[in-house]
Amino acid sequence: MAQFLNQVTDRCNLFLGYKKEDRSTDYELEKRRYLMKKLKFDSYDGVCFLNGLVFFAPVALLVRTQAGVSEHIFFLLQALLSGVIFLGEIPTGFITDKIGYRKSLILAQVLLLGARSLLLAAFVSRSLALFVVEAVVEGIAACFTSGTGSAYLYNLYGENGYLVKTAHAENFGIAGFIISTVAYAGIYKISGMEGLLITTVVMDIIAVVCSFFLRSESSKTIIADRKEVQILAIFKNKKAFLFVISLAIFSIAWLLINFFYVVKLENCGLPVEWMSLIILIYSAVQMLAEPILEKLSDGKNGKSGRGKLPAVTAATAGVAFLLFGVVKFRSAVLLLMLILPLLLNLPEYLLMDLENQFVDETECGGQRAATLSVLNMGVNLVEILTLSASAFLTKIGIQWCFVFVGCFLMAIALLFARIQK
């Protein structure tokens, strides 16, 4: 009888969102209740949506070139942006762990608003100096975002809810991007480039206001674990290098998608004007990441089954990239264009989840943002090198760049599979 009553009590506790041991801390109880709720639109989703409303995105290069910035200088400005992020990753990561994730995200929104305002001023005044300052401010804003959003969601939702919530919030960003892409033509026709920039700045102002309504994370995570941790010592673990290499390859993969899809269209004899429609469709397809990850990580396949997902999804993305590089059939090229971003998103989200688990394993949870920033430095370094070597990439042939990334993704899949074993 007593055993039966205990089972009934445990089931009731599970229904309410906690287990017996969860009563020890209000924070864990609150987190589990949070996970029990069906994901709804919140302030974080709102910020992601507003950040996605970049109305000048389709003509981001023209914002600079019409103001007298050459394409050569444009790439140098992007390299400067990546350089600022590279240098600022660790300092801003430590600042974030001191002031808290929520305050850091608010600060990032304020800095992003400043950067977009500087971009507008630089375009109107045709000032190269302001473009340089804008790149620096945007880089600092990116530093406070890098690792912070991931750490913030992991803190609120834990290992079980992090993946789905990340994809959920990202979908709102994609939705904003789709809306701004559709609205771009009308705004540009009515008010020109200035109208696109002003509308984006207005959205950034609303994003700053929205960020003040972000849910506060646990103060326990920020304060209780404040001890001297040699974060750079994480590189004694082989997994750290795997994360850095993987993030770097994902960065190159997105660079190819964002800048060289149009080249593939031209090589296949397809109209470049199709690019806007392709962006809209693949952005919509990307939104399938949330239900797919929710289905894959629902626990029905067991922990071992979930552990295979990074390797399987990375291998699938690798094969798709390799095929995209060598295939010349127009229908196949278009199909791959529409699904490649989604196939790349899936292992990337899973990698971010594994990163946070790795931080817990290394007992750096109290300095999560700083630790993630250290790992992200590898990405920034590769971005600097990639932007500086962009001319070389075009000389060897864009198709071989896709093949190269595809092979690396498959190699990463094999490494993940080996680690799981």
Q: Is residue 24, in this structure, part of any structural domain at all?
A: no
Most confident of 6-20, 44-58, 249-263, 341-355: 44-58
Lowest mean pLDDT among 104-108, 228-232, 381-385: 228-232
The confidence score (pLDDT) of residue 104 equals 92
**Last residue of one domain, picked from the residues 212, 241, 258:** 212
Rounded mean pLDDT of 197-222? Answer: 85
List, in order, residues 6 or more apart from 157 with CB less than 8 Å away. Answer: 31, 34, 35, 165
Do 271 and 367 lie in one domain? The reply is yes
**pLDDT score for 122:** 95
Is residue 306 included in any domain, yes or no?
yes
Co-location of 263 and 367 in the same domain: yes
Q: Is residue 120, in this structure, part of any structural domain at all?
A: yes
Let me know if residue 162 belongs to a domain.
yes
Q: Rounded to an integer, what distance in angstroms lies between the CA atom of residue 319 and that of residue 410? A: 7
Asked if 283 and 392 sit in the same domain, the reply is yes
Domain that holds residue 142: 43-212
Distance CA 133, CA 129 (A): 6
Based on the fold, state whether residues 66 and 130 are members of the same structural domain: yes
Question: Domain total for the chain?
Answer: 2
Residue 119 has pLDDT above 90, yes or no: yes
Q: How many CB atoms lie within 10 A of CB 182?
A: 11
Say how far apart CA 104 and CA 95 lie, in whole Å: 8
* pLDDT confidence band for 115 (50 / 70 / 90): very high
Condensed to tens digits (0 to 9), the pLDDT of residues 151-186 reads 788 888 876 777 778 888 888 998 998 898 888 878
* 197 and 323 inside one domain: no
Q: Which range has the top average pLDDT, 3-12, 146-155, 184-193? A: 184-193
Contact (Cβ atoms closer than 8 angstroms) between residue 80 and residue 132: yes
Looking at the fold, whether 262 and 199 belong to one and the same domain comes out as no
Q: Which two tokens stand for residue 16?
A: 């309410």
Q: Which two tokens stand for residue 65?
A: 């070139």
Q: Length of the chain, please?
A: 421
Q: In terms of domains, do 181 and 113 share one?
A: yes
Q: Is 55 inside a domain boundary? A: yes
What are the CB-based long-range contacts (under 8 Å, 24+) for 416-420?
416/242, 416/310, 416/311, 416/314, 417/308, 417/311, 419/239, 419/242, 420/304, 420/307, 420/308, 420/311
16 occurs within a structural domain: no
Domain-embedded: residue 288: yes
Q: Are 31 and 165 in contact (CB under 8 A)?
A: no
In the numeric block, which tokens belong to residue 396? Answer: 């060897």
Among 59-63, 81-85, 411-415, whose mean pLDDT is lowest?
59-63
| 310/385 same-domain check | yes
Mean pLDDT of 231-247: 70
* Same domain, yes or no: 204 and 263: no
Tell which residue, 396, 381, 418, has the closest CA to residue 83.
381
Place of tokens 């190159």: 252
Q: Which pLDDT does position 363 carry in this prediction? A: 57
How much is the mean pLDDT over the chain?
77
> Is 151 in the same domain as 249?
no
- In this structure, the answer to whether residues 294 and 374 fall within a common structural domain is yes
Q: Is-above-0.85 flag for pTM? A: no
CATH number at residue 71: 1.20.1250.20
**Which structure tokens are listed for 34?**
């949070």
Is residue 226's pLDDT more than 50? no
Distance between CA atoms of residues 28 and 34, nearest Å: 10
Say if residue 195 is in the same domain as residue 58. Answer: yes
Determine, yes or no, domain membership for 217.
Answer: no
